[in-house]
Structure formats: structure tokens, C-alpha cells
Structure 1
Amino acid sequence: MTEFLSLADLRALARDCLMRAGAPETVARAVAAEVAAAEAAGERANGMEALLRDIRLMRYGRLKPATPAQQIRARPGFIRLDAQHGFAAAALSGAMSDLAGLGRTQGIAVLRLERSSDPGGMICAAAALGERGLAVLAFGPDGPGRIGHPDLSGPALLPTPPRAALNLLFPDIDQDQPADSPIGGLVGHVGWLVVLDAGLAGDSFANAAIWDGATAPTTAASIACSAELLEQIVSA
């Protein structure tokens, strides 16, 4: 059996389930927004399936939703964001204004997310930076990334981020990530956001070859979800 949910209903469901599992409301709202954004983009693995996984990790004690993230300004133009084993979406949500300001001041800025839940697509973070007039590249150690520009309606999927080049800047980009299983230590994923003042870049960023593999952003208004998955999430 398939249920159809509006994005608003999906966000509300995710928020309520997270809060019932022990997440503070501000954290639950940020995570629910990311879940809804992933579902709207057709990425179930970063949406409802990730929600179920992370609620279970909270129950196992492997994910700490109430611990506030910490910013560490290691050097000009670089922010280390320590989620302290909490949710990636919540940690990123609280750092976007600072990262955007740094990008505008420096022209280019980098944020490294550390010790977080699996950051997934980082769709909300990339969208927030684009809305602030910045070009952005968001990626993790594996899987697709996101690339955004103020002229786009939203962040575009980048199936193959240029990891060979990025590895020169981030030597540990290929490090193994912890398994999200019932046993083991606390969550400890990483992710990166590179932001660039789109005005300073001019047309060079918008016309770069990196866009050749990008997939235009998509948004669904209604989300189809199996009753079984919904039941698992509600009862997790």
C-alpha cells in the first residue's frame, strides 16, 4: 500500500517523530527540512530512509541530537564545524550565516563538517548559500555532490564531484566512514562545503566544465511512500 504525503505533511511527520525520539525542536525542524528536500529531489536514501536510520541511531545511543555544534576558525577562510556526534543538518543550519559572511569577505571559503550523522545531500545548506548570492560545491567522501549558483532555482546534483582535484585540498577526503549500525561507536561522518562569491567569479564559475555532469534540480509536490516504511518510522 502506498501513501501520498505533501511536503508540509512529510516535514511535520519527520519533526514529530524526531522530537518523540528525543531531538530538540530546533534540531528536529532542521533535520525534517532536509528530509523533505531530499524526498522532493527524489532521493529516498537521503530522505525517509535516512530518517528511519537516524532515529534508530538515536535509540542505540550512537547519535546525540541535543549536543550543540562547535565552530573552530582554524585559519582565515576556513571553518571546522564539529557536530559533536549530532545531526549534520542541524549543525549546518546554524553555520550558514557565518559561512556566507566569510565567503563574501574572503571571496572563497571552506567549511569542513566533522563528527556528524551522515550529511547526505546537504541540500538545505547548499540552497541557503545560493539564496545568499554564493556559488557552492557540497560533497562527502563518496556518492554524488551538490553544486549551486544564485541563478539556479536550487542546487543541482553532481554525480561525480572532482575528487581527484579536491583531494589536493582535503587530503583525508577518501577516509573510511563509520558504519551506521546498531553496534559500534558514536557517529563520525564528514562533509565539505566550498563557497565562492558569485560576483567575483563572474561567468567563469557558471561556464565551468564541472556543470557538464550536473543534473538540473527537481522538486516534487507530493511524495509517495510505502505504508510499511511509514509504520517503521512512526514506531522506531
Structure 2
Amino acid sequence: MIERLSLSDVCALAQDCLTRAGAPDAVAQAVSAEVAAAEAAGERQHGIEALLRDIRLMRYGRIEAGARPQVSRPRPGLMHCDAGHGFAAAALEGAVGALHDLARQQGIALLRLDRASDPGAMIGVSGALARYGLAVLAFGAVGAGRIAHPDIAAPATLRHPPRDVLAMLLPQPMGGQPADGPLDGPVSHGAWIVALDPAAAGDRMLAADIWSVVPAAPPAREIAFSSELLEQLVTA
């Protein structure tokens, strides 16, 4: 049986499940917004499926939902966000304002996320920075990257994120992909976000003709779920 939920209902359901699992309200709000954004973009692996995984990891003690991220600036144009084995979406939401300010001051800024849950699509942070007028490139250890720009309606997927090139310049380990099981250690994923002020530095480095981009589809207003999937979620 198929059930259809509005995006607001998806967000509310995700937030309720996270709160019942023990996540603080602010964390639940940040993560549920990212879940809804992924579902709207048609990326279920970063939406409800990721939420199911992460609630299990909370139950196993591998995600510290109440972690307090620590943000530092080890270099003039570099920010470091240590999520403390907590949720990536919540840590990144807390760092958006400082990253925006740094990019405006420097023309370009890098954010390194460490010791976080799987960062997934990072639609929330990419979209927020683009709404502030910045061009953005975000990518984790595996999977597609994300590009956002004030002139693009929604963050788009990069088929071939430039991991290899940036790895030569920024050789810090990207973080592994811990198994989805109860016996492994705390989650410790990483990601990079590049934020560029087009007015200050030009944005040729993030031009769409450099990398192959999957155009963002119009966000869905209703999301179809199987009853089995929803049952798994509400009983997680």
C-alpha cells in the first residue's frame, strides 16, 4: 500500500521520530529539515532511509545526538567543524553563519567537517549559503557532490565531484564509512564545503561547464511511501 505525505508532514514525522529516539529539539529540527529536502529532491537514500539508519545508530550509541559541535579557524580561510560524533546536519546548520561571514571577508572559504554522521546530500547548508549569495561546492567521502549558486533554483548534483584534485591540495583524511551495525565505534564521517563570493573572486571555478552537473528537478510537493517503510520508521 502506498501513502502520500506532504513535505511538511515528512518533516514533522522525521522530527517526531528523532525526538522519541532521544535527539534534542534543535538537532531533530535540523536533521528532519535535511531529510525532507532530500525526499523533495528524490534522494531517498539521504532521506527516510538515512533517517532509519541514523536512528538505529543512535540506539547503538554510535551517534551522540546531544553532541556540541566545536568550530575553529586553524587558518585564515579555513574553518574546522568537529561534530563530536553527532549529526552532520545539526553541526553544519550551526556553522553556516560563520562560513558565510568568512567567505565574504576572504572571497573564498573552506569548511572541513569531521567526526559526524554521514553528511548525505548537504542540501540544507548548500541551499542556505546560495540564498546568502554564495557559490558552493560540497562533497563527502563517497557519493555525488553538490553544487549551489544564487542563479540555480536548487542545489544540483555533481556526477564527478573533484575529490581527487582537492585531495592532492587538502590531503587530510576524508573519513571512512563505518558499517551500519551495533559493534563499531562512534560515527566519524567527514566532508568539505567550499564557499565562494562571486562578487569578490569570480566564480569560474564553480562554473557548470567545468563539471558534469545533474540538473535539479523541481522539488516534489508530495512524497510517496510504502506502508512498510513508514511502519519501520515509526517503530524504529
Which position in structure 2 is the counterpart of 1:165? 165
Q: 1:158 to 1:80 in 2, by over 3 A?
A: same
Residue 206 (structure 1) shift: 5.8
Gaps of 5+ in 1: none
Mapped contact 1:149–1:198 kept (Cα < 8 A): no
Find the counterpart in structure 1 of residue 222 from structure 2: 222
Fraction of identical pairs, as percent:
58
Q: Which residue identity lines up with residue 150 of structure 1 in the other structure?
A: P
Please name the residue that 1:187 is paired with.
187
CA contact (8 A) 1:198 1:205 kept: no
1:50 aligns with 2:50: yes
Q: What SS does the corresponding residue of 1:210 show, helix, strand or coil?
A: coil
Q: Tell me how far apart the structure 1 counterparts of residues 205 and 44 of structure 2 sit (CA, whole Å).
A: 30
Distance in 1, Cα, partners of 2:227 & 2:210: 39
Cα 1:107/1:128, change in 2 over 3 Å = same
- Would you say the 8 A contact 2:140–2:174 is kept in 1? no
- Is the contact between residue 196 and residue 203 of structure 2 (CA under 8 Å) also seen in structure 1? no
Instruction: Give the Cα separation in 2 of the matches to 1:190 and 1:69.
Output: 13
Cα deviation 1:84-108 (Å, max 9, x = unaligned)? 0100000000000000000000011
Partner in structure 1 of residue 129 of structure 2: 129
AA partner of residue 116 (structure 2): S
Give the CA deviation at 1:45: 0.4
1:193-218 per-position Cα deviation (integer Å, ceiling 9, x unaligned): 0011011243624645334x111222
2-structure distance, mates of 1:203, 1:113: 23
Q: TM-score, normalised by structure 1?
A: 0.96
2:201 and 2:139 map into 1 onto residues whose CA distance is 20
- Cα 1:206–1:81 change in 2 (3 A) is closer
Letter in 1 for 2:64: K
Q: Tell me the secondary structure at the aligned position of residue 62 of structure 1.
A: coil
Q: Root-mean-square deviation (CA), in Å?
A: 1.4
- Measure, in 1, the Cα distance between the counterparts of 2:230 and 2:96: 31
Counterpart Cα distance in 2 of 1:203 and 1:197: 8
Question: How far apart, in 2, do the equivalents of 1:185 and 1:208 lie?
Answer: 39
Map residues 1-236 of structure 1 onto 2, 5 A cutoff: 1-173=1-173, 175-202=175-202, 204-205=204-205, 207=207, 209-211=209-211, 213-218=212-217, 219-236=219-236
Counterpart Cα distance in 2 of 1:102 and 1:140:
21
Q: Secondary structure at the match of 2:195?
A: strand
Instruction: Letter of the 2:234 partner, please give it.
Output: V
**Structure 1 counterpart of 2:190, one-letter code:** V
May I ask how many residue pairs the two structures share in their alignment? 235
Contact 1:150 1:198 in 2 (8 A): no
Q: Which moves more between the two structures, 215-224 or 19-28?
A: 215-224
